[in-house]
Amino acid sequence: MAKAFDSSMENPGSDAIADAFSQPFGRGMLYPRPPYSYRDAQMGLLLFRADAAAVRRNLPPGVTLIDKTPLCLVNFASYAHTAFGPYQEVYVAVQVQFRGETYMYSPMMFSDNEGATAAGRELWGFAKKRAAMRFERAGEQICFTAERPAGHPVISCSVTAERLATPAEFAAIAFPTLTMRIIPNHDAGSRPSVCQLLATRNQKRYHQSAFGTDELWSGRPALRIDSHSEVDPWHDFQPVELIGGWFSHSDLELPAATLVHDYLAP
C-alpha cells in the first residue's frame, strides 16, 4: 500500500520555524546560535587619533564624536578555534557617544571566513566584508595585512611585544562595541526591514604565563592605510597621531548583542 502523503513535510509548522535560526532553512544552516566561544586568540591592538571631519562621514544619525581629534583603534586577530572554524579579521572603531552613553563604534571590518562574515553582519551588524589577510611574526614585530581584492593592499599594521602590559592600560577604550545592523527590505524601493544600533561587550580571559602573568604585551605600533577608495574607505581613518600598540593571547566569549536604538520604531 502506498504511504499517505504527509502535508507537514511540505508545510513545516510553527515548531520548525521556531527551531530555525540561520540560512539555509533546515539542516544546512551556516552558523548556530550565540554565544560563541573563541579559544587561542592572538590579537593586536593599535590606538591612535584621526581627523574628525573624515571619521564623521562614517557615523550613523545621532552618533557623535567626543573629541576634536577622535580616539580610534584598529584591532587585528587570528582565531585558532571558533564555532566558525579558524579565521582572521581586522576592524576599526572610534570613541563616540549616543544619548549620553559612550561606545566604540565600528564602521568597517574584514574577515576571511564565510560563517563569521555572515553571522557578524546578520546578528550584530558588524560591517564585515571578505578579504585576504595575513597574520605573521616578522622580526621583532607581529604583523597583519589585509587586501581586498587579493593583491590590492588596504591596511597593514604591526606592533612589537617589548614589555608586559596590564588590562588597565585600555581604560580609555573599555566601552561596548556599537554597530549598525541593516537588513534590506524585500522591496528594493522601501526602507530597510531592520535598522538598529546594537551594543556588544565580549568577555576576555588572557592566557597565563608560567610566572602567573597575563600574556599581554605593549610596544611600538605601526599603521599604514594604503587604499583611497569609495568602496572601502578605510582612508577616512588615516592616523594623525599613533598612541600605542598591544599584543595579547587570550580566550573570548562572544554573547548576543543588546538593542540600543531602533531607527524604525514609532
Separation in Å, CA 190 to CA 183, 185, 187, 196: 12, 6, 6, 16
pTM: 0.92
> Looking at the predicted structure, is the pLDDT value of residue 185 above 60?
yes
Share of the chain above pLDDT 70, in %: 95
Per-residue pLDDT, averaged over 146-160, amounts to 96
What is the C-alpha separation between 131 and 150, in angstroms, rounded?
Answer: 7
Q: What is the pLDDT of residues 34-45, one digit of tens each?
A: 999 999 999 999
> Looking at the predicted structure, is the pLDDT value of residue 18 above 80?
no
Would you place residue 5 in the very low, low, confident or very high pLDDT band (cuts 50, 70, 90)?
very low
Q: What is the DSSP letter of 214?
A: B
> Looking at the predicted structure, is the pLDDT value of residue 6 above 70?
no
The strand ranges marked E within 99-238 are: 101-111, 128-130, 132-138, 141-147, 153-160, 163-164, 177-183, 194-200, 203-206, 216-219, 221-225
What's the confidence (pLDDT) of residue 113?
A: 97
**Backbone dihedral angles phi then psi of residue 112, each to the nearest 5 degrees:** -115, 25
What is the C-alpha separation between 110 and 107, in angstroms, rounded?
Answer: 11
Cβ atoms of 222 and 141 within 8 Å: the answer is yes
More confident residue, 27 or 256: 256
Q: Among residues 84, 75, 85, 78, which one has the least CA distance to residue 42?
A: 78
Q: What is the pLDDT of residues 247-262, one digit of tens each?
A: 999 999 999 999 999 9
